[in-house]
Structure 1
Amino acid sequence: MVAPINKKALSEADIISKYIMPAIKDAGWDDMYQIRQEVKLRDGKVVVRGMAAARKKVKSADIVLYHKVSMPLAVIEAKANKHEVGKGIQQGLDYANLLDVPFVFASNGDGFIFHDKTNPSQLETEITLEDFPSPQVLWTKFCAYKGYTDQQLPIITQDYYDDGSGKSPRYYQLQAINKTIEAVSKGQNRVLLVMATGTGKTYTAFQIIWRLWKAKAKKRILFLADRNVLVDHTRNNDFQPFGQAMTKITGRKVDPAYEVHLALYQALTGPEEHQKAYKQVDPEFFDLIIIDECHRGSAADDSAWREILEYFSAATQIGLTATPKETEEVSNTDYFGEPAYMYSLKEGIEDGFLAPYKVVRVDIDLDLQGWRPTKGQVDKRGHAIEDRIYNQKDFDRTMVIDERTQLVAETITNYLKRTNPMDKTIVFCNDIDHADRMRRALVNLNPELVAKNEKYVMKITGDDDVGKAQLDNFLNRKKSYPVIATTSELLTTGVDAKTCKLVVLDQSIQSMTKFKQIIGRGTRIDEEYNKLWFTILDFKKATELFADERFDGIPEKIIVTKAKDINDPDSDFNDVIESKEAEDTNQEESGDNKITSSNYPDGEIGGDDWQDEEKVYKYHVNGVKVHKVAERVQYYDTDGKLVTESFKDYTRKTLTKQFATLDEFVRKWNQSERKQTIINELANEGIIWDALEQEVGKDLDPFDMICHVVFDQPPLTRKERANNVKKRNYFTKYTDKAQTVLEKLLDKYADAGVLEVENLQTIKVHPFTDIGSVKEIVKDGFGGRNEYDLAITELEQAIYAFPDKSA
């Protein structure tokens, strides 16, 4: 007679395989196409402390049910039978929100709690295993909930492109794709997607185009960008599957033989009528236009490029941006409407898809106190210097001080020497002249590295063909050089700098749009290159914008106003912001036609000593004493705020939330069968042992590290703990062979820590091989595996005993 199954003793995995999966399959769900298990939706946030980083572990959705691979319908969260049937419902709701699905099931194997957002009058009901709904039931409810018509279904149900590699859209990309497809299928002709830099806007755009194209809803597509590197990168990477159906518009000629066209605005239009290549085809020629980086010139009413969008006004137009632009003259939302979907930098970092950052703020005395010339002082060219106080915003705009440039370059060099001189670095300067001088200073400070390869430091700006030619090598993860790129505007947007580990800000930035774009140069993760985080080295207080509520929120319009309007009670305005900021916002965005080469004597933006239309002279002096006042390291914490603190402080603050007293921590430690488990748990809370060891001392055990840092206990080193065990004649109860093994394990503990004691692999190598094989040690020395494990547990208890309360 077969003994009945003790359901309460079954694991969660057993409950899924023996009860939940059979119930789903019996309801008609296809195991191959409609059911996915262990669906990982997030990557796990990267936690950075010191120079070390680790990912937090994330849970996967137990089961996700799909109508088709592009359309998730329901989440099922399972728990062991010892739990209540609805135990997993809240966890399931979290996953359902990420996937934007209305159906959630929780089960312990006895039945299901069914959370149904399509039925607001009774959101949650309990159903039996046998009553699990069929695919058709959920699909019918889903379509009614969404309000889909029969005409929409062929478009909505078209699958995304699958190359067989296993790559599929992340949850937020799938939401962006599906929401856009849904909007287009309803006849919406203007759609805006807001996705942080590094989250795959181009890949998302490709999948949108692919599904609309394959469904024959859109037949001729135009992908518009304002930089050649964007078009070429798109064509050679994400858009490759279009193959022979795709072309890049060159030579001001639109070839109607192709279905997918990629183009620069500049290739389609110009100030002269003969340059307006887009007029070669009818206004109805394109039925879908994707506008990349739409926060730039295309959004402005008076932009020369806007005429392209207006000519093809009957086409569906989808705008992509990381930074929606809202000023008095330019508004993405006025043109496209409210975003169909938004995915922010903060969300990307929390999910582990984007690299977090630490900020090193460097304050320079000259910047804080200002600098005033002596009476009658002239600059290096003999020009009399206007007598006033020059401050941080003036430096490298209207006033160049060689010693300040040298100090910034020295700080960059010293930081790279402390970390890694070969870390890819972008230095953002105020203009091309500043980028030239910064390059020269960095070259002179790194003679050995430059002698090894003269491309160690390169100026990469729009005016320099030699520098621009090295852009691809700088971005290529397989190319070591260039390492440091000095720039002003060219690298602010549109370049995929996955391996960039240091972003240097020596540029005055008032525009939130530009600030987000610059920070985005470092936010991409490259696991293979070991790029999980990056550093922002800030000399101009630009990172104060992190505190601005607009940094990751929905953008608000900027109303340009004057002082007399503020004082006039009859004035009609809603919000007021400093006019200078709005002007900077307009001027700093490339492509807005607010700054033109005609404003400059040499025809190159920022290429001379004269600034803007007012032709303000740029003074150049030297012989000024300049010093760093302070250098602060700040971290992006779990609440999305920048905090200045040591890792000791972070550890104390984090763990006191979990353990109120020393006794509570010691009890938790001693109750853990294997210390590796609790060490891993603490790591998941953001405790990075390498960083803590650097700050506290490397000979401390994690146990003593926590006791010392969090509870102010005088620590014992591992060697001291090992000696205390030996003094107690602890080993005498074991056989001679067992005593020898335990003594050597204790020595291993003193050298390398408790994980060496717990790892069975330790006794497979010297000096244990001199005693015997693993089998001989375990069986002959201890009597078997259970006895060996018990001896290890008792050894750890002896190690962490508190005989005199000194630890």
Structure 2
Amino acid sequence: MEKKEKQLLSETDICDLFITPAIEAAKWDRFRQIRREVTLTPGPVVVRGNLSSRNKKLRKFADYVLYWQSGVPIAIVEAKDNKHGVSDGMQQALGYAEILDVPSAFSSNGDAFASHDKTATSETPIESEFGLKSFPSPEELWRRYKIHRNIKPDEVPVVTQPYHIDAGGKEPRYYQVEAINRVTEAVAKGQNRLLLVMATGTGKTYTTFQIIWRLWKSGQAKRVLYLADRNILVDQTLVNDFKPFGTVMAKVGDRKIDPAYEIHLALYQALTGPNPSDKAFKSVSPDFFDLIVVDECHRGSADDDAAWREILEYFSSAIQLGMTATPKETTEISNAKYFGETVYKYSLKQGIEDGFLAPYKVIRIDIDRDIDGWTPPPGMTDDLGEEIERREYNQRDMDRILVLNKRTKLVADRVMKFLRATDPMSKTIIFCEDVDHAERMRKAIVNAAGDLARDNSKYVMRITGDSTEGKAELDRFIDPEEPYPVIATTSQLLTTGVDAKTCKLIVLDRTINSMTMFKQIIGRGTRIDEENNKYFFTIMDFKKATELFRDPDFDGDPVVIYEPTPDDPILPPDPDSEDDENEDEEEDVQGVKKIRVSGVDVKIKAERIEFLGPDGKLVTESYKEFARKQIKSEYRSLNDFIRKWNNSDRKQVIIDELEEHGIILANLAEEVGREIGDFDLLCHVAYDQPPLTRKERATNVKKRNYFAKYKDSARAVLEALLDKYADEGVSTIEQAKILRLRPFSEIGTPTEIINGVFGGKADYEKAIRELENQIYKRATNE
């Protein structure tokens, strides 16, 4: 094929005609080893106001991922059209290779391949170019991969054990693949204490399942124990992610381990207790289990009775994997010192940047009595008639020591005001100081909700450890298909282990000093649920808890500050831990008599809204401000933008480009004005130009008598298109399917209009471009 002819081909054509055949010629299996157009990350969700959109410009999209026979990714190939050079895609390919931690990256424009080999020695070049007929074989790239990952021959059977692929075709995401591979490779090397850190909402349980599946299938772990400390965690795991284990799996019950099963799921409480007869784990030999997974190990490590430590000590010969979103490191306890250094970490920040986790906006609300403090007048009594100690009560005292009933009402009213303005059926969790506070908040929400609570008594429920009725509603609260309960008031019960996918509002009316607890609470909202239109969540903070977002430890690596002695190889208990609780128990603040006062007025002193910025920090910025920055990053000046707009045959192309940056014009119009056309909207927001409405631009075209040069039928079509523009915008008139609708259908079919009225597709499209030029003529003149 001639070079000029080749340069007219699209990137897809180059792939189909040159790159794919060249890879297949090197003995790569098209169906099992070559995957095209692989989305590694979908791009982050941008939130401004009550609206959200994905910034697709930041998504990571590999043209080719090449796999070894077991489904292990081993190489990246980036394709470009023939107008580009051979190595123009190399930097992009290297970025994707970094994500997947593979040693081989290639770029091609259909003429040849450029190669980058991370395993290159001093005798071989790191980067080189070669012809299409010289692409490396699967065996060669697998050899490089084994060198890069330091995989020895005897480790290969474990490392290459295939993943489980379900009937729906669900496969692990890139970071899950990396987590699974890191663990299986470490196990293959003989490491028997491992720690895996993955943010809430990133699929820890699914990742755990794939790890167990591969180790079980490869024979590395014939009997497995999955340990958790809450029934809901075990039950969810049993029927969801672990379901493929089928009949070889059982939940440990009646304080007995049944050796007939291979995969065992258990509560700590079901395996051990204070009496020797309670220690069901001793019903099997110490070498019975080959692998033990400790779910939410940051909690288990701090239990007063350290139940899981007793179990792990007994099965000390087993491989032991700790799973957590928040590894606990204090002066007294350390996950890392027991399980070892983290094998792999995927953080909340990374999850949000990739677009797998929901970002958040924060509404910080300061209440005057919290910020300024409150000192009772001399001799003032509480609701029981007892004199109140005369001192200043501040934010930390509220609802722990001092109960101002009007403050509780104020918080409830503000929560309901937000929900009514957005969606009163949004799943909401309100974190309170204790059970008493959670019950008072439930009552206040009932009164603030009015008809919503009257129409359904389960609109708001207190879900705490001591409430049988509330805990019975927990499954319905987290079920996306169940509308009720909508609001849950709680203290600690919902901090961890609750997969509340559709939770859109988290209210913090609780003092939080523990970073572990804060991360767990925030994790209740981080899941994206596209089916239910949940892409972000809101945090309403009444207690300055979100100041912890500014702490470097929020998304940093835990620093080990506990050093065990030779006589203390297992983690000590942490009786003072703030963030641990028994599943069936949730206590009020102990030893403190609360002062309850009804007559003290309270009001909101200050309120501000912050959003997650591109650098991962909270910023105060409107959707309009965000759009201005994005537009100017693409078009530096007004003239640049007008030139691109006027030279574009289809304005929708520009609109699509801006959407890649996360700018949805419908969202922008909600904030600026729905009647303003796309062009004026963008010029106004980015360059402060006075906008015209679509109707004003359409009227200007009609005043010029522009349509006089067209015959009756063509004139009728163009006038109708102008009216459609005035009503719906420029994108509408650029779509030929508009001709199927009235009034066009009264003139003829789309084919009759395009060919009969305008003389063909080219002339019809020319008429549309001329109409658009007339619509934006003022912009051209300016």
- TM-score, with normalisation over the residues of structure 1? 0.92
Cross-structure match for 1:9: 8
1:49-98 Cα shifts (integer Å, max 9, x gaps): 22222223235211111112431111111111111000111111111112
* Residues 1:368 and 2:371 are matched in the alignment: yes
Cross-structure match for 2:192: 189
The answer to which structure, 1 or 2, has the higher relative contact order (CA under 8 A, 6+ apart) is 2
CA contact (8 A) 2:439 2:462 kept: yes
CA contact (8 A) 1:456 1:483 kept: yes
Separation in structure 2 between the aligned mates of residue 5 and residue 753 of structure 1, nearest angstrom? 39
* Residues 1:660 and 2:636 are matched in the alignment: yes
Separation in structure 2 between the aligned mates of residue 301 and residue 233 of structure 1, nearest angstrom? 26
Listed as ranges, the matches of 1:563-578 within 5 Å are none
C-alpha distance 356-585 of structure 1, shift in aligned 2 (>3 A): farther
Separation in structure 2 between the aligned mates of residue 605 and residue 31 of structure 1, nearest angstrom? 57
Separation in structure 1 between the aligned mates of residue 387 and residue 340 of structure 2, nearest angstrom? 53
Quote the offset at 1:297 in angstroms: 2.5
- Higher mean alpha-carbon deviation, 228-237 vs 87-96, is at 87-96
Structure 1 vs Structure 2: percent identity of aligned residues? 58
Cross-structure match for 2:570: none
The structure 2 residue matched to 1:525, chosen from 528, 548, 553, is 528
Separation in structure 1 between the aligned mates of residue 556 and residue 258 of structure 2, nearest angstrom? 42
Cross-structure match for 1:670: 646
Q: Which runs of 4+ in 1 moved over 3 A?
A: 2-5, 299-302, 557-560, 583-586, 803-806
Quote the offset at 1:344 in angstroms: 0.8
CA contact (8 A) 2:302 2:577 kept: no
Partner-residue secondary structure (3-state), 1:6 = helix
Partner-residue secondary structure (3-state), 1:144 = helix
C-alpha distance 803-509 of structure 1, shift in aligned 2 (>3 A): closer
CA contact (8 A) 2:507 2:541 kept: yes
Listed as ranges, the matches of 1:134-533 within 5 Å are 134-298=137-301, 303-533=306-536
Cross-structure match for 2:774: 798
* Residues 1:83 and 2:84 are matched in the alignment: yes
What code does the residue aligned with 2:265 have?
L
CA contact (8 A) 2:301 2:333 kept: no
What code does the residue aligned with 2:578 have?
E
What code does the residue aligned with 2:580 have?
S
C-alpha distance 4-264 of structure 1, shift in aligned 2 (>3 A): closer
Partner-residue secondary structure (3-state), 2:381 = coil
The structure 2 residue matched to 1:589, chosen from 563, 576, 579, is 579
CA contact (8 A) 1:299 1:332 kept: no
Separation in structure 1 between the aligned mates of residue 452 and residue 526 of structure 2, nearest angstrom? 27
C-alpha distance 732-554 of structure 1, shift in aligned 2 (>3 A): same
The structure 2 residue matched to 1:760, chosen from 731, 736, 759, is 736
- Higher mean alpha-carbon deviation, 395-404 vs 626-635, is at 626-635
* Residues 1:42 and 2:41 are matched in the alignment: yes
* Residues 1:53 and 2:52 are matched in the alignment: yes
Cross-structure match for 1:564: none
Separation in structure 2 between the aligned mates of residue 14 and residue 711 of structure 1, nearest angstrom? 39
Q: CA RMSD in A?
A: 2.0
The structure 2 residue matched to 1:129, chosen from 132, 146, 157, is 132
Partner-residue secondary structure (3-state), 2:342 = coil
Separation in structure 2 between the aligned mates of residue 682 and residue 590 of structure 1, nearest angstrom? 46
1:135-170 Cα shifts (integer Å, max 9, x gaps): 112222322333322221111111011123211100
Separation in structure 1 between the aligned mates of residue 780 and residue 643 of structure 2, nearest angstrom? 17
What code does the residue aligned with 1:92 have?
A
Cross-structure match for 1:735: 711
Partner-residue secondary structure (3-state), 1:666 = helix
Separation in structure 1 between the aligned mates of residue 375 and residue 219 of structure 2, nearest angstrom? 68
1:196-234 Cα shifts (integer Å, max 9, x gaps): 100000000000001000111111110000111000000
CA contact (8 A) 2:48 2:621 kept: no
Separation in structure 2 between the aligned mates of residue 429 and residue 299 of structure 1, nearest angstrom? 22
Cross-structure match for 1:620: 596
Partner-residue secondary structure (3-state), 1:393 = helix
CA contact (8 A) 2:104 2:144 kept: no
C-alpha distance 239-584 of structure 1, shift in aligned 2 (>3 A): closer
CA contact (8 A) 1:511 1:584 kept: no
Separation in structure 1 between the aligned mates of residue 14 and residue 630 of structure 2, nearest angstrom? 35
Separation in structure 1 between the aligned mates of residue 5 and residue 537 of structure 2, nearest angstrom? 51
Quote the offset at 1:641 in angstroms: 1.3
Quote the offset at 1:302 in angstroms: 6.8
Cross-structure match for 2:746: 770
* Residues 1:18 and 2:8 are matched in the alignment: no
Separation in structure 2 between the aligned mates of residue 704 and residue 306 of structure 1, nearest angstrom? 66
Partner-residue secondary structure (3-state), 2:46 = strand
Separation in structure 2 between the aligned mates of residue 138 and residue 558 of structure 1, nearest angstrom? 42
Unmatched runs of 5 consecutive residues or more in structure 2: 564-572
- Higher mean alpha-carbon deviation, 286-295 vs 266-275, is at 266-275
Separation in structure 2 between the aligned mates of residue 166 and residue 685 of structure 1, nearest angstrom? 30
* Residues 1:684 and 2:655 are matched in the alignment: no
Quote the offset at 1:349 in angstroms: 1.1
Quote the offset at 1:351 in angstroms: 1.3
What code does the residue aligned with 1:406 have?
K
CA contact (8 A) 2:73 2:102 kept: yes
Cross-structure match for 1:568: none
Separation in structure 2 between the aligned mates of residue 134 and residue 585 of structure 1, nearest angstrom? 58
C-alpha distance 4-110 of structure 1, shift in aligned 2 (>3 A): closer
* Residues 1:647 and 2:623 are matched in the alignment: yes
Separation in structure 2 between the aligned mates of residue 92 and residue 416 of structure 1, nearest angstrom? 45
* Residues 1:695 and 2:698 are matched in the alignment: no
Unmatched runs of 5 consecutive residues or more in structure 1: 561-582, 598-603
Listed as ranges, the matches of 1:52-131 within 5 Å are 52-57=51-56, 58-121=59-122, 122-131=125-134
Separation in structure 1 between the aligned mates of residue 745 and residue 546 of structure 2, nearest angstrom? 57
Quote the offset at 1:4 in angstroms: 8.9
Partner-residue secondary structure (3-state), 1:320 = strand
Partner-residue secondary structure (3-state), 1:296 = helix
Partner-residue secondary structure (3-state), 2:178 = helix
CA contact (8 A) 1:360 1:538 kept: yes
CA contact (8 A) 2:33 2:71 kept: no
Partner-residue secondary structure (3-state), 2:32 = coil
Quote the offset at 1:437 in angstroms: 0.2
Number of residue equivalences: 769
Partner-residue secondary structure (3-state), 1:194 = strand
Separation in structure 2 between the aligned mates of residue 687 and residue 19 of structure 1, nearest angstrom? 36
Partner-residue secondary structure (3-state), 2:395 = coil
Partner-residue secondary structure (3-state), 1:289 = strand
CA contact (8 A) 2:26 2:137 kept: yes
Quote the offset at 1:304 in angstroms: 3.4
* Residues 1:788 and 2:769 are matched in the alignment: no
Quote the offset at 1:277 in angstroms: 1.4
Separation in structure 1 between the aligned mates of residue 71 and residue 350 of structure 2, nearest angstrom? 22
Quote the offset at 1:447 in angstroms: 2.8
- TM-score, with normalisation over the residues of structure 2? 0.95
Quote the offset at 1:301 in angstroms: 9.5
CA contact (8 A) 1:300 1:331 kept: no
- Higher mean alpha-carbon deviation, 651-660 vs 118-127, is at 651-660
Separation in structure 1 between the aligned mates of residue 404 and residue 561 of structure 2, nearest angstrom? 34
Cross-structure match for 2:587: 606
The structure 2 residue matched to 1:538, chosen from 517, 531, 541, is 541
Quote the offset at 1:540 in angstroms: 0.9
What code does the residue aligned with 1:349 have?
I
What code does the residue aligned with 2:14 have?
I
Partner-residue secondary structure (3-state), 1:631 = strand
